[in-house]
Amino acid sequence: MNYKISKVAASLSPSLTLAIDSKAKAMKAAGEDVVGFGAGEPDFDTPQHIKDACAKALAAGFTKYTPAAGIPELREAIAAKFQRENGLTYKPSQIIVSCGGKHSCYNVILATCEAGDEVIIPAPYWLSYPEMVKLAGAKPVILETTDKTEFKVTPAQLRAAITPNTRLFVLNSPSNPTGSVYTPDEIKALGDICVEKGVLIMSDEIYEHLTYDGAVVKSVASFSPAHKDHTIIVHGFAKAWSMTGWRLGFLAAPEPIAKAIDAVQSHSTSNPTSFAQKGGVAALTGPQDHLPLWLAEFAKRRTYAHQKLSSIPGITCVNAKGAFYLFPNISALGLKSTDFCAKLLEQEKVAAVPGIAFGADDYLRISYATSMANIEKGLDRLARFCAGLKK
């Protein structure tokens, strides 16, 4: 049988981060001593009270369809979060709960972009953004950045990239894969341009709560009513509550966009899992005391990993202020990122994600969402590997 694959599906690259992660896990299952720096998820368990709320809902028979956009209780809790933490007033009708932050991003792009539209995406980017844009039939326009600007786009760069076809600008701070955090002034300058030019912003704020060194995170929506009218905030439970497997995310949007996304979602996934939503309510309304503990642990690992990476001849590394990633530059070592990571996994059994997956071939993504012992062991091996390359 000659299967016909649609042009759009055939044009996609499968997720390289998920591929590396599953290869490392398979090697581990086969008894090999693999150190994985590929994880895109916290290594902590979901806090107990969240699991309890979900289990209770399940036991009570909360197992049926809910409204496609989520249960009112959760949409209200999310609106209250934006009010409390961001000073942003949204009606529950402007909140859509989805099956993960990734799903929220996809819904936003599908509801706002079509053939002929351009979507501006700074690189290094979260690898799903350009693929989602392609799925919508629109065109990703990539803005290159390097470690020299801490992987941040400049206002001049953004302005020069905007055309009459620009529909959406994708902002992700703190960033996956670089961990970079834009300052409030930098965010405002980019937001100002989008307001002036009538470009929508998709602001992916899923790492909002994961910052270090006192970095301040401010949503682009919070600078003025006009900024808010131009912004769709994407967020979720995956990172700050360690709920990646729950598949639960959310967004806040101007009313007409929220309505369109509700329609898209009602014909694709329908509601996110009913009892998972009850866990989401507990996550937002319950105690947050897990977070300082996790942040202290992440901060310790980040400091160690940054110092160790910086000490390896041939590697330079920005000390990123957010998320749980570092993005070291390997360009002086003479291998492009795919070769580098393949050889590193083969020779030293260390899994890192090649920067090419994020549109930046001179770098690696190192996730420090793994134990300190693993980080020490893995970075020692990386240092030995790099020393071998230099000879």
Ligand X SMILES: *Cc1c(COP(=O)(O)O)cnc(C)c1O
- Interatomic CA distance for residues 235 and 242, integer angstroms: 13
Could you tell me which of 386, 290, 367 has the C-alpha nearest to residue 20?
Answer: 367
Task: Specify the 3-state DSSP secondary structure of 261.
Answer: helix
Site track for ligand X across 30-69, x = CB under 6 A: ----------x-----------------------------
* Minimum CB–partner distance for residue 117 and ligand X (Å): 21
**159 and 194 in contact (C-beta within 8 Å)?**
no
Task: Find out whether 90 and 79 touch, Cβ atoms under 8 Å.
Answer: yes
Q: Does 204 bind ligand X (CB under 6 A)?
A: yes
What is the nearest approach in angstroms of ligand X to the Cβ of residue 343? 26
Residue 176 binds ligand X, judged by CB under 6 A: yes
Between 220 and 238, name the residue whose CB sits nearer to ligand X: 238
In angstroms, rounded to a whole number, what is the distance separating the alpha carbons of residues 196 and 189? 11
Bridge partners (DSSP) of residue 221 are none
Amino acid identity, position 170: V
* Residue 70 lies near ligand X (rule: CB under 6 A): no
> Within positions 211 to 240, which residues make up the interface with ligand X, using CB under 6 A?
236, 238-239
What is the size of the binding site for ligand X (CB under 6 A)?
A: 14
Alpha-carbon distance of 233 to 250, in angstroms, equals 8
- Would you say 87 or 245 has its CB closer to ligand X? 245
Residue 24 engages ligand X in binding (rule: CB under 6 A)? no
Closest approach of ligand X to the CB of residue 17, in Å:
9
Using the rule CB under 6 A, which residue among 121, 141, 187, 206 binds ligand X? 206
Contact in structure between 70 and 271 (CB atoms under 8 Å): yes
Cβ–Cβ under 8 Å, residues 351 and 207: no
C-beta of 210 vs 345, nearer to ligand X:
210
Query: What's the closest the beta carbon of residue 105 comes to ligand X, in angstroms?
Result: 6
Which positions from 249 through 308 interact with ligand X, judged by CB under 6 A?
249
Name the minimum Å distance from CB 145 to ligand X: 16
- Using the minimum distance from each CB to ligand X, give the nearer residue, 40 or 355: 40
Q: Whole-number minimum distance, CB 369 to ligand X, in Å?
A: 11
Does position 244 interact with ligand X (CB under 6 A)? The reply is: yes
> Minimal distance in Å, beta carbon 98 to ligand X?
8
Residue 355 binds ligand X, judged by CB under 6 A: no
Alpha helix (H) ranges present in 168-317? Answer: 184-197, 225-229, 255-266, 274-285, 290-310
Q: Where is 171: in which H helix or E strand?
A: strand 166-172
Q: Among 356, 382, 388, 387, which Cα is nearest to 37's?
A: 382
Angle at 126 between CA 120 and CA 129, to 5 degrees: 50
What residue ranges bind ligand X (CB under 6 A)?
40, 100-102, 126, 172, 176, 204, 206, 236, 238-239, 244, 249
